[in-house]
Structure 1
Amino acid sequence: MTHAARPLPRAYVQRYRGWFATQFEENKAWYARLAGEGQHPRAMVISCCDSRVQISSIFGADSGEFFIHRNIANLVPPYKPDGDLHGTSATIEYAVGALKVSHIFVLGHSQCGGVKGCHDMCAGKAPELEEKTSFVGRWMDLLRGGYENVKGIKDEDERLTALEKQGVLTSIDNLMTFPQVAAEVEAGNLSLHALWQDIGKGQLQCYDDASGAFQPV
């Protein structure tokens, strides 16, 4: 049986060897401890796949500190145990049930391509995303309600930013449909955090329930 996998490009081989010779060698006792004791992250992070979002970097996180799940537009679907494949839901179940994380961060960001696709689809400008065969389109259906909340904003840039933040809040609300998440939140064992980062400015905002808005951290 043959497979489509190919050898790792030389540039990445060199980068790996550089990491192994420096960061790993300097911290190999820590890596050995992680391997021996298993992972015990305090927080789960749900963020976008966007290559510009550097989760560990912006929080200065070490290996083993975050349990990270990335998907298009950092969305969480509602709880739906229907027997289908649910990568995001499975990750949440494992983080809360097995790892007992104390925090879940949902991290949105500026210039999100997935959110822009949802915006254009809902506005009738992206018929390819309306196709039943579009995985991205059907995933971004999760944010259609958010689009209805912001479509009255006249400036498109402001509307897109507002929709990005709606995506974060949609995910927070959908997290609470998971019985295990809701139970842990109500017991005071788990807290949910809605975050949004401006990539160009490096600024991080956190949703404040008292003001009903995202505020600078």
Structure 2
Amino acid sequence: MTPSFDAEQFWVEQAWTVQDRFLEMHSHWLTVIGEHLQDHRGNVLEYWRIEKADSVIVLPIQNEQILFPSPSYRPGVGSVTLDLPGGRVPVGTSPEQAAIAILQRELGIDAASIDRLIALNSIGWAVNSSFSNQKLYGFVAHLHSATEPAKELISAAYSITPSGIHQLLSVINCLQCRTVLLEWIFRLSYLRL
């Protein structure tokens, strides 16, 4: 018999404590925090991290096609990338509200044009490392077939056939976009949702 993992007990045994926060710097985009933490072995370590507002990525589907807004320049990568519509969740806004606003901003699609908005996760996936901290909410937006997105805002459309998905996976580089796409593929393949 395989022993079970007691996550709660493990967390208690491995918990670290904050000794002091020596820096907290806020901007519109993020908060930079510097802290001294004591690990579960008694070692005091210096950690730096960034906290950002949670993100939303939307997979818009219309007439068996995944729609993409214009590629955007990524300063950290130093190139233009093809990404699914996405953005931050403003304070006081639900992820669902943010998803609808993102579709309006990036593809010119209003709430009435959305047939179904399906959340791929309800509590957000942790996009977390020792340096960065946020949650990612994924949505699939099935658009009414007669909806006319703003043509000048649509840069690409990929078929939801196996060959179209394979082609899309060869060009999409954003890890968060890939996560939402792969979760949707997984659900189609195995959960039939």
Q: How high is the TM-score relative to the length of structure 2? A: 0.26
Q: TM-score, normalised by structure 1?
A: 0.24
Higher strand proportion: 2
Larger helix proportion, structure 1 or 2?
Answer: 1
